Structure 1
Amino acid sequence: VKGGRSLTQAMAPLEALPPQERGLARALCFDSLRFWPYFEGILRLLLKKPLKDDALHTLLILGLCQLERLRIPAYAAVGESVSLARRSGRGWAAGLVNAVLRNFLRQREAFIGRLDEAARLAHPPWLLERIQKAWPRHWQAILEANNGHPPMALRVNASRLSSAAYLEKSGLPASPLPGVESALLLEEPMEAQNLPGFAGGEVSVQDGGAQLAAFLLNPQAGERILDACAAPGGKACHILEREPRCRLLALDRSPGRLSHLCEDLGRLGLSAQVMAADAACPETWWDGEPFDAILLDAPCSATGVIRRHPDIKLHRRPGDIPPLVRQQRELLEGLWPLLKKGGRLLYATCSLLPEENEGVMEAFLKGKDAGLPPMEGVGLPRPIGRQILPGATDGFYYALVEKR
């Protein structure tokens, strides 16, 4: 992950481990990244000078994670970390690993008391500052959510059965998610393939906030609809579950990521036109027939889904935001001419940063003959659109625009 790979990619080899070992390895990966700024802050205090050996630095982070976040006895966490140093060809560092971790155990409260605010709250300083500035009344709750474990939400296939019917039929320990009629929140996560009715297309795994896209777009029978950045396909499939008689074009520039969408369409018994193309270049793929509705789930900083993808804390940089904003605006400008008069465009991100959300929409709408249909009951009102903060769902922004 430190080399630039996503956590999802980096964890793929863990699938070969026995279930109990796999669970521990996953927890160690997620929690070490979730609290990486905190552990790095502790290490800076524990070490007289930064380590030149990057792998040894990571080994100490993992040791601290076992001591702080996992239910592993201190003697076992220290012993395993020392053993790992030896097994990795760093026997010379075994004494250092032992001394650093035991020093932390002896003076834990003193070290924590010396941490700066960003390290103590386990967020990069730039991101902490942005969140505090954007959400002065909510930033503490946002950080708490970012450092927590995400809920597992199910999306019941409305073309097959209702959420209430699935809940009764499956017997799962779950509860409805208020405001999202297709969503159920599981009390404890489980593997998707073990969900009753999953293989038969009765249910899928999708965050409740993401499920709002299909409700806000409100697909109608016979409408031609574009999902412009469709992979991995959850929103596209939900649109079709809501209205199987619409004509959906699911577009994404990544053929590899579209394969998951095609698998889900088959599992759910749904059909759509699926195309690998760049939504920002419609001249390469558009057939000239305008769309009744367009969903643009734009590439973004993903700052609303940090608890689900904690590697964002390592990968994201403040310099990433301006290029993303340019890309978001280019996509909007490129897709607007493809929309019918009277048609609707739903702009969505999983970002908490206003410059990617209402900032983008404000700039885009200048000079456009467009209306903003109401979206009452969805998140918090913004100058344009609505913002959902992470909590029972992930963090999302939605803005619905009608072309006049």
Structure 2
Amino acid sequence: MPLSTLLVHTAAALQAVRAGRSLNDVLDRCPPAARPGTQALAFQVLRRLGGAQAARQHLAPKAPAPNVDALLTTALALLWPGDDTGARYAPHTLVNQAVEAAKQTARASAPFINAVLRRFLRDRDTVVAAVQADPVAALNHPRWWIDRLRADWPSAWRGVLEADNDHPPMTLRVNARRTTPQAYVARLAAAGLEGTVVGPHAVRLGRPAPVSDLPGFADGDVSVQDAAAQLAAPLLLGGGLPPGARVLDACAAPGGKTAHLLELADLDVLALDSDADRLRRVDDTLHRLGLVARTAAADARQPDTWWDGQAFDAILLDAPCSASGIVRRHPDVRWLRRPTDIPALAETQAAMLDALWPLLKPGGRLVYCTCSVFRAEGDAGIDAFLQRQGGLSLVGRPPSPGHLLPGPDNRAVEDAPDAGASPDGFYYALLTKPLP
């Protein structure tokens, strides 16, 4: 497919994200033939968006029409120094193809785009140096996001931001009912793929590959799941639950943690999610893996609409959050979120904890997790919950995994993934309900 066509789709995706739409939704509506190329370019544009926007403002202080601005910013991001996606194309090819893209969508703007991009190529080092004084341009995150991370993690905030702009690893969860990570690495090697064991059930691929190329994927031998997300099921199970134990997986979609629980133990699992469409992905995942769980589309905060009155032996609450720990997989998240989202999400998380805690048997275990690196969605929220409950404390040595920061220097705690896994950012708290 011509690069100019991919640039048209990528600029449209950027314009949609700027208008508040998620990149996944935009890509779902992209023509199938253009989707892979558009996603690759859009990911890189969003990882360089702070610098590209500042460069556009520097080179053309008067903002052009939104569609023209999106195309111009897209091209600037792909021309940015160190951009490995754009490096597949010679700079002048990118400029020429951006001009061709303009002719397809806003013909009158083609000379303007050509002039701005050629000036950027001519003065690139000077322009980049000028805009890098702005933290948003230098770090490619909104200013409020940078400030919050700096306050939460005074010694680690910059490393987290840098990890957000990296390409994430592709990590697999090996089905413990079928095989072992070591045996699966050998199967990968036989298929010409490189893999490394990075956890009890985790294998990191040397380079990402389509799931259709993974041996046994269609048969349920393996699933795609980050190493940090693979902590949830073993943490909830602890020393083991009796066969048939009642387990609630609240906010279960798309089903990775539900499946991991059932791969490790024979349980009576209720997978709950408020989004009926996303809940169907849980059913699809379980079907591929040959596993069975009950599913229900309902709001975890309203047990009277779905709970049968029988207490659960264990509860996994993977609460809705900012997704600030998985920005490298979803680079649009940082640009979609607003500062007011964090306290609103924290309020939802607190409401879910308060609603589900009474449903747990005395002596039962509850694991609370979020894919967030913000303390408001992690230890601050759990501290507030412990104060509301009174006399309750975290479980573990040290007390629960806590915050895991993205990248190879993930916080070294007892239950953290192997450093070679380069896991996503997560928060985990393990709570046990006191006996009467």
| TM-score, L = length of structure 1 | 0.93
Counterpart contact for 1:28–1:65, Cα < 8 Å: no
Residue in structure 1 matched with residue 114 of structure 2 by the alignment = 98
Unmatched runs of 5 consecutive residues or more in structure 2: 1-16, 408-421
Deviations 1:78-116 (A, max 9, x none): 11111111111x222111101111111111121112221
Kindly tell me: are residues 49 and 375 of structure 1, through their superposed partners in 2, closer, same or farther at Cα, counting changes over 3 Å?
farther
* Counterpart position of 1:296: 317
Deviation at 1:370, TM superposition (A): 2.6
Letter in 2 for 1:285: W
Could you tell me which amino acid in structure 2 is paired with residue 119 of structure 1?
A: A
**Is the deviation greater in 115-124 or in 8-17?**
8-17
Question: How many angstroms apart in 2 are the aligned matches of 1:359 and 1:298?
Answer: 14
Alignment map for 1:128-139 (pairs within 5 Å): 128-139=146-157
Provide the rounded CA distance (Å) in 2 between the counterparts of 1:195 and 1:13: 27
Instruction: State the SS of the aligned residue for 1:208.
Output: coil
Tell which deviates more after alignment, 184-193 or 329-338. 184-193
Native 8 Å contact 1:358 1:385 kept in 2: no
The Cα RMSD (Å) is: 1.5
Match of residue 82 from structure 1: 99
Structural mapping, 1:139-154, within 5 Å: 139-154=157-172
Aligned to 2:406: 390
- CA apart distance, 1:118: 2.0
Alpha-carbon deviations, 1:101-149, whole Å to 9, x = none?
1111111121112221221111110001111111111112111110111
TM-aligned CA deviation for residue 170 of structure 1: 3.2
| Pairing 1:184–2:203 present | yes
Residue 126 of structure 1, aligned match among 140, 144, 147 = 144
> Matched residues in 1 for 2:366 and 2:61: separation?
55
Aligned length: 390
> Take 1:146 and 1:398, find their aligned partners in 2: how far apart are those partners?
20
Structure 2 residue identity aligned to 1:59: L
Deviation at residue 24 of structure 1 after TM alignment:
3.2
Q: 1:151-178 CA deviation, whole Å, 9 max, x = no partner? A: 100000001111111111332301011x
Do the aligned residues in 2 keep the contact of 1:371 with 1:403 (CA within 8 Å)?
A: no
For 1:37-56, list aligned pairs within 5 A: 37-51=50-64, 53-56=65-68
1:237 Cα deviation from its structure 2 partner: 0.5
Amino acid at match of 2:140: A
**Partners of 1:335 and 1:22 in 2: how far apart?**
40
Q: 159, 174, 188: which is aligned to 1:156?
A: 174
Q: Secondary structure at the match of 2:200?
A: strand
The aligned amino acid for 2:159 is A
State the Cα deviation string for residues 20-47 of structure 1 (Å, max 9, x = none).
x654322211111122112111111111
1:166 is matched with 184
Q: Deviations over 1:354-402 (max 9, x none)?
A: 11111111111113343321154xxxx7xx7511111101100000011
Partners in 1 of 2:201 and 2:187 — Cα distance?
A: 15
| Between 143-152 and 163-172, the greater mean CA deviation after superposition | 163-172
2:382 corresponding residue in structure 1: 361
Aligned-partner Cα distance in 2 for 1:61–1:50: 11
- How far apart are 1:4 and its partner, in Å? 2.3
1:185 is aligned with what amino acid? R
Deviation at 1:62, TM superposition (A): 1.5
Equivalence for 2:5: none
Gaps of 5+ in 1: none
Are the equivalent residues in 2 in contact too, given 1:329–1:364 (CA < 8 A)? yes
What is the letter of the counterpart of residue 368 of structure 1?
G
Residue type at the aligned position of 1:40 = Q
Q: Which residue of 1 aligns with 2:255?
A: 233
- Tell me the amino acid that sits aligned with residue 123 of structure 2: Q
Q: 2:71 aligns with which of 50, 59, 64?
A: 59
1:369 and 1:161 map into 2 onto residues whose CA distance is: 42
Which residue in 1 is equivalent to 2:305?
A: 284
Query: Is the alpha carbon distance of 1:104 and 1:155 closer, same or farther for their aligned partners in structure 2, counting shifts above 3 Å?
Result: same
Quick one: percent identity of the two aligned structures? 44
AA partner of residue 188 (structure 2): S
Q: Which TM-score applies when normalising by structure 2? A: 0.87
CA contact (8 A) 2:141 2:335 kept: no
Residue identity opposite 1:396 in structure 2: F
Q: 1:369, 1:403 within 8 Å by CA — same for their partners in 2?
A: no
Distance 1:375 1:14, change over 3 A: farther
Residue of structure 1 aligned with 2:229, choices 202, 206, 210: 210
